[in-house]
Amino acid sequence: MKKFAVIFSISAALLLSCSGKSGSQAGNDPEQAVITKTITEGDDNTSIKPVHLTKETFKAKVMDYEKNPTTWVFEGDKPCIVDFYADWCKPCKMIAPIMDELAAEYAGQIDIYKVNTEKERELASVFGINSIPYVLFVPAQGQPSAQRGALPKESYKKIIEEFLLKKNTGTSQVKQ
């Protein structure tokens, strides 16, 4: 009986792992369904949320990989973060509220975007994403960098400050 319990636990853990993409595991999470960026007059930035991107909006706001297939050409006007996720991914759900908080905290300084890898498979393929969450950090000038897996909020803030906003002369780098 103990063997069965151990095997069942391991199987459950593997099923909940987010090391790949599976359309059959895609769920309908109402919290993840629609996230929009809204700014109203007198707003305290708490309603600012990450903006969901499609292939077309990604090409317009981040990079047009069809027009520039071999060279990184940033299309935005300020640094950004692109969170590649799937609704069924537990670590992705863990960082979603962090991305919401960061969008509000850094409103006007950086843009935060989300890409659903289940709906935007071409984008996931272009970046070779086979494990999520995959967070792309794009400075206004220079080459982007990426982080696989979930990080605590303070780690994201450090990357924003030192890599995207370059507020520290330290030499920290984002893993690829």
Catalytic residue of the set 80, 81, 86, 89: 89
Contact 82, 62 (CB under 8 A): yes
Catalytic residue of the set 92, 98, 129, 151: 92
Annotated catalytic residue 92 = yes
Cα separations in angstroms, 31 against 28, 93, 105, 121, 123: 9, 9, 20, 21, 22
Spell out the residues 6+ positions from residue 101 whose beta carbon is closer than 8 angstroms to its own.
Answer: 153
Partners of 51 in the beta sheet? 113
Contact 86, 118 (CB under 8 A): yes
Catalytic positions: 89, 92
